[in-house]
Amino acid sequence: MQRSKNDLWVGLFVMLGLVALVFLALKSANLLSLNFQSGYRITARFDNIGGLKPQAAVRSAGVLVGRVESIAFDDKIFQARVTLSMDDRYAFPKDSSLKILTSGLLGEQYIGIEAGAEEKTLVEGDSVTATQSAIVLENLIGQFLYRQAESGSTPSGAGNKK
């Protein structure tokens, strides 16, 4: 009887450990957000969202102020429509602007919101029109190589061996 009671407690402890590991894995991968605060939804349109994903952070001055709720493609204007879920405790002016930024050199992408100066604030259902798309590293490298080939020179004197 004592052995089966010990087995039960060990099994329960192992199950709790597995649940904790799954919770930590989902939380660290940004796939789980436990937010019990109410918020408001706003939308924005971008020409290129790069690697932005749902549940990505929305930050202002480095502080988490919301999350990307959904991303959809609008086939009428050929742009990405991003829906953001903002915390109620943060009110941003209607003329605020949004940028898709990258944390670090090759880190995850997030949306940065820069507050405007208008007195009216964003409310549920508003759309932000001042947006800046993601910078795609491949495009920058392609432009650099194209300009180098167009000018007829090699980058940084790479071909100047004597």
- Do the beta carbons of residue 27 and residue 1 sit within 8 Å? no
Confirm whether 157 is domain-assigned. Answer: no
Range of the domain at 13: 1-32
Q: What is the percent of the chain where pLDDT is above 90?
A: 53
| pLDDT value for 159 | 52
CA distance 29 to 131: 26
**Whole-prediction pTM:** 0.68
In a shared domain, residues 16 and 94: no
In a shared domain, residues 49 and 126: yes
* CB atoms inside a 10 Å sphere around CB 86: 23
- Do the beta carbons of residue 122 and residue 42 sit within 8 Å? yes
In a shared domain, residues 99 and 132: yes
Amino acid at 2: Q
Per-chain mean pLDDT for the chain: 86
Amino acid at 105: L
Model pLDDT for residues 106-153, shown as the tens digit of each residue: 778 999 999 989 999 999 989 999 998 887 777 888 888 989 888 876
In a shared domain, residues 101 and 84: yes
The domain total for the chain is 2
In a shared domain, residues 74 and 6: no
* Most confidently modeled range among 36-40, 80-84, 143-147: 80-84
38 has pLDDT over 90: no
